């Protein structure tokens, strides 16, 4: 594994830029200007794009819901630099055969198994431009969550969805699994006749009687954005370019909830230029989906926990839509540059929301975000992870997922709002629009962004900022713009009144939105008596709230104040919902006391089979689960 060692060495010293020259023969398969492709060293991929890299993927897949296996063939167009081999990432895959375009078998070997999986090395002559890999997924395919009928809304059919970000695509497709790689793809997917398949590509809106579905993604995307969902799914139209897929029980509710989606696309385009992906649809997944949303191109994957009934949690859709520019169009080159995806997206999301819902709304969103950042920074520091409070991360030797925190989102957002404040909104907007245009369908490193920022925005405007402090140092610099909300100021006075003994009933909460309730619940004093918790609950019905954000924030307070009356509902929530953002704080809080740990483990035992690997990976750690249940093997 000499090349891996060399890669690590290179990573330790400097960022290695490898310019890859164009190959005219495969030019018809890629939109991106190949001559301009620069592959940056990625510590989380074994691929060696300086030797050969993929530009297009054709998938032929059969999904066996009963056996929980995907079997198929992945065929790639490649740019071959004649170095004798191409290297793919795999994890847990069984490789049956590798062939060239003429059907000749190509020799392949698998590298050692690490947390990154196993490198698949294929020997290729200089003439090889296309090759295929026949393979099947294994039991530990972490991208995949196979749900039994019981775990779905309808309870009649099984369900499958994939989650690729950050390094999980390699568990269901052999691929060069680096965000610096870009491919177009086509897929033919066979599923049981009673189910429907959708992908992060052009989709049909109707069922195919034979269970055969075809997809194409004509724009080059990074592999973490390849996604598939299979289940009893229906479609509802929202606007000319927008719609929603969900299980039949939920689809009408979802269409109503996301009524603003088309307007969001329009607002986004007005801000930062044309939406380049054709359609924008959302699929609402079963509640075990580990994230709020995932920006799979053309088809955002979303948790049903944003269906509050009043549209109050749809900022999340604005966020995933914004990734169609920041992330999917201009993509972080490595996971160390993750803030380029998320920080920009949080900024963009708030601008969309400001346009549609007004400034009050955007301000409340910003304050809630800052509260989360403050908490995350505090926790990271306390846990000895101060280095993870930098925007530019160093995730060498770690699962990138473990270093992806609110810092990328909210410190990134704070940085961009500072840039806006220093240069003026008009200039900053023009800069961002130009940035998305200039680097469309390309990957971006932090360093390249900073150079572009200086050249295009800071130097011409005579603005000087301590970029090093913002990007490379831990903590939040003192010149971070202050965020404030006058609506929250009213909530704060309600909090003061209630804390001084005024009954909950007498608080003027009549026109509060979800955000105000969240702010109220976060701001409750410590050490609340059971009587006063009960008073709040009786007055506002928090325990029985159908709004997942409100319920979650309330449950945090219930744990902090040991208000055990709410524990059956808390337990029900934790068993039902697999969204990691909710699970981690709740289990962590429970684990803080001996009796709470017991409660947490009892709930987790029941809930764990419902969770995606992304969530179990985190919560196992929180509760010391693996250590407790599995014999230690060396």
Please give the positions annotated as active site: 320, 409
φ and ψ of 566, to 5 deg: -85, -5
- The CA distance from 187 to 299, in Å, is 15
Question: Which distant-in-sequence residues (6+ apart) come within 8 Å of 151 by Cβ?
Answer: 159, 286, 288, 610
Binding mask of the shown chain, residues 294 to 333, with x at each position contacting Zn ion by CB under 5 A: ----------------------------------------
- The CA distance from 89 to 176, in Å, is 5
- The CA distance from 483 to 360, in Å, is 12
Q: Which is nearer to Zn ion, 151 or 326 (CB)?
A: 326
- Which of 165, 485, 547, 618 touches ligand BES by CB under 6 A? 165
Edge-to-edge strands of the sheet including 299-302? 234-237, 242-246, 280-284, 299-302, 293-294
Q: Is 613 in the site for ligand BES (CB under 6 A)?
A: no
- The CA distance from 217 to 58, in Å, is 10
Q: Which is nearer to Zn ion, 345 or 371 (CB)?
A: 345
Question: Which distant-in-sequence residues (6+ apart) come within 8 Å of 250 by Cβ?
Answer: 153, 284, 304, 307
Q: Is 281 in the site for ligand BES (CB under 6 A)?
A: no
Q: Which is nearer to ligand BES, 191 or 317 (CB)?
A: 317
Q: Is 91 in the site for ligand BES (CB under 6 A)?
A: no
- Tell me how far CA of residue 485 lies from CA of 362, 367, 547, in angstroms: 9, 7, 22
DSSP codes joined into one string, 568-618:
HHHHHHHHH---HHHHHHHHHHHTTSHHHHHHHHHHHHHHGGGS-HHHHHH
Q: Which is nearer to ligand BES, 339 or 409 (CB)?
A: 409
- Tell me how far CA of residue 146 lies from CA of 67, 160, 305, 457, 620, in angstroms: 10, 5, 19, 48, 19
Q: Which is nearer to ligand BES, 285 or 521 (CB)?
A: 285
Q: Which is nearer to Zn ion, 281 or 342 (CB)?
A: 342
**Among candidates 570, 566, 492, 563, which has minimal Cα distance to 528?**
563
Query: In angstroms, how far is CA 91 from the centroid of its own chain?
Result: 20
φ and ψ of 238, to 5 deg: -115, -60
Stretch touching ligand BES by CB under 6 A, among 318-326, 389-397, 476-484, 561-569 = 318-326
Q: Is 287 in the site for ligand BES (CB under 6 A)?
A: no
Q: How far is the CB of 502 from ligand BES (least distance, A)?
A: 34
Q: How far is the CB of 319 from ligand BES (least distance, A)?
A: 4
Q: Is 320 in the site for ligand BES (CB under 6 A)?
A: yes
Q: Which is nearer to Zn ion, 177 or 342 (CB)?
A: 342
The number of beta carbons lying within 10 Å of the beta carbon of residue 340 is 26
Q: Is 305 in the site for ligand BES (CB under 6 A)?
A: no
Q: How far is the CB of 551 from Zn ion (least distance, A)?
A: 23
Site for Zn ion in 350-389 (CB under 5 A): none
- Residue 293 binds which entry of ligand BES, Zn ion, none, with Cβ cut-offs from 5 to 8 Å by kind? ligand BES
Residue with tokens 């929603």: 244
How many residues line the site for ligand BES (CB under 6 A)? 16
- Residue 122 binds which entry of ligand BES, Zn ion, none, with Cβ cut-offs from 5 to 8 Å by kind? none
Question: Which distant-in-sequence residues (6+ apart) come within 8 Å of 284 by Cβ?
Answer: 244, 245, 246, 247, 250, 251, 254, 302, 303, 304, 307
- The CA distance from 112 to 169, in Å, is 18
Stretch touching ligand BES by CB under 6 A, among 179-187, 239-247, 316-324, 532-540 = 316-324
The number of beta carbons lying within 10 Å of the beta carbon of residue 432 is 23
- Which of 54, 121, 166, 307 touches ligand BES by CB under 6 A? 166
Structure tokens at 151: 């775990």
Bridge partners, residue 88, by sequence: 120
Q: How far is the CB of 604 from ligand BES (least distance, A)?
A: 21
- Which of 316, 551, 603, 623 touches ligand BES by CB under 6 A? 316
- Which of 111, 158, 220, 293 touches ligand BES by CB under 6 A? 293
Burial label, 607 (beta-carbon count in 10 A; 0-12, 13-18, 19+): buried
Q: How far is the CB of 342 from ligand BES (least distance, A)?
A: 6
Q: How far is the CB of 549 from ligand BES (least distance, A)?
A: 11
Q: Is 319 in the site for ligand BES (CB under 6 A)?
A: yes
Site for ligand BES in 576-605 (CB under 6 A): 581
Site for ligand BES in 393-412 (CB under 6 A): 401, 404, 409
Q: Which is nearer to ligand BES, 294 or 373 (CB)?
A: 294
**By beta-carbon distance, which residue lies closest to ligand BES?**
292
Q: How far is the CB of 323 from Zn ion (least distance, A)?
A: 6
Question: Which distant-in-sequence residues (6+ apart) come within 8 Å of 486 by Cβ?
Answer: 360, 363
- Tell me how far CA of residue 251 lies from CA of 148, 212, 248, 288, 304, in angstroms: 20, 22, 5, 17, 10
Q: How far is the CB of 317 from Zn ion (least distance, A)?
A: 11
Q: How far is the CB of 231 from Zn ion (least distance, A)?
A: 24
Binding mask of the shown chain, residues 328 to 347, with x at each position contacting Zn ion by CB under 5 A: --------------x--x--
The binding site for ligand BES (CB under 6 A) comprises 165-166, 291-295, 316, 319-320, 323, 342, 401, 404, 409, 581
The binding site for Zn ion (CB under 5 A) comprises 342, 345
């Amino acid at each position: 594994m000499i090349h891996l060692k060399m890669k690590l060495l290179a990573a330790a010293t400097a960022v290695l830029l490898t310019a890859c020259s164009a190959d005219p023969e495969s030019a018809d398969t890629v939109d991106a200007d190949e001559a301009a492709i620069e592959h940056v060293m990625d510590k989380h991929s074994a691929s060696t794009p300086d030797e050969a890299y993929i530009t297009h993927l054709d998938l032929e897949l059969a999904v066996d819901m009963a056996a929980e296996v995907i079997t198929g063939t992945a065929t790639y167009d490649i740019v071959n630099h004649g170095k004798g081999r191409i290297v793919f990432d795999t994890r847990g895959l069984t490789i049956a055969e590798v062939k060239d375009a003429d059907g000749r078998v190509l020799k392949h070997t698998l590298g050692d198994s690490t947390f990154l999986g196993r490198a698949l090395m294929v020997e290729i002559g200089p003439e090889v431009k296309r090759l295929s890999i026949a393979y099947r997924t294994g039991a530990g395919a972490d991208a995949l969550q196979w749900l039994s009928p019981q775990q779905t809304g309808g309870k009649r059919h099984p369900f499958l969805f994939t989650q690729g970000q950050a390094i999980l695509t390699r568990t269901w497709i052999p691929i060069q699994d680096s965000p610096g790689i870009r491919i177009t793809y086509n897929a033919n997917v066979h599923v049981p006749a009673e189910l429907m398949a959708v992908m992060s590509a052009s989709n049909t809106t109707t069922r195919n009687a034979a269970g055969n579905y075809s997809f194409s993604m004509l724009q080059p995307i990074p592999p973490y954005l390849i996604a598939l969902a299979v289940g009893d799914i229906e479609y509802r139209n929202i606007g000319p370019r927008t719609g929603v897929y969900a299980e039949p029980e939920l689809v009408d509710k979802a269409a109503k909830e996301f009524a603003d989606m088309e307007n969001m696309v329009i607002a986004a385009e007005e801000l930062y230029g044309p939406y380049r992906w054709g359609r924008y649809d959302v699929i609402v997944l079963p509640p075990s989906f580990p994230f709020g949303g995932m920006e799979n191109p053309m088809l955002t994957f979303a948790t049903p926990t944003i269906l509050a009934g009043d549209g109050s949690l749809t900022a999340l859709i604005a966020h995933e839509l914004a990734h169609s520019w920041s992330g999917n169009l201009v993509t972080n080159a490595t996971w160390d540059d993750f803030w380029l995806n998320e920080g920009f997206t949080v900024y963009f999301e708030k601008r969309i929301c400001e346009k549609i819902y007004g400034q009050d709304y955007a301000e409340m969103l910003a304050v809630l975000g800052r509260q989360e950042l403050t908490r995350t920074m505090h926790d990271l520091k306390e846990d000895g992870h101060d280095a993870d409070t930098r925007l530019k991360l160093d995730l060498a030797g770690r699962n990138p997922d473990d270093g992806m925190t609110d810092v990328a989102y909210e410190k990134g957002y704070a940085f961009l709002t500072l840039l806006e404040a220093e240069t003026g909104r008009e200039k900053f907007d023009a800069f961002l629009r130009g940035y998305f245009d200039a680097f469309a369908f390309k990957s971006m490193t932090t360093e390249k962004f900073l150079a572009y920022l200086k050249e295009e925005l800071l130097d011409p405007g005579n603005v000087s900022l301590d970029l090093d402090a913002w990007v490379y140092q831990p903590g939040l610099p003192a010149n971070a713009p202050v965020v404030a909300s006058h609506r929250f100021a009213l909530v704060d006075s309600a909090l003061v009144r209630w804390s001084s003994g005024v009954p909950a009933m007498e608080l003027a909460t009549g026109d509060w939105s979800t955000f105000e309730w969240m702010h109220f619940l976060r701001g409750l004093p410590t050490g609340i008596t059971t009587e006063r918790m009960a008073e709040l609950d009786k007055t506002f019905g928090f325990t029985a709230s159908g709004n997942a954000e409100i319920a979650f924030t309330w449950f945090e307070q219930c744990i902090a104040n040991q208000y055990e009356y709410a524990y059956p509902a808390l337990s029900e929530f934790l068993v039902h919902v697999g969204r990691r953002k909710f699970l981690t704080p709740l289990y962590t809080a429970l684990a803080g006391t001996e009796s709470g740990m017991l409660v947490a483990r009892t709930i987790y035992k029941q809930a764990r089979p419902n969770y995606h690997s992304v969530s179990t990976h985190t919560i196992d750690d929180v509760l010391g689960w693996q250590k407790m249940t599995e014999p230690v093997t060396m």
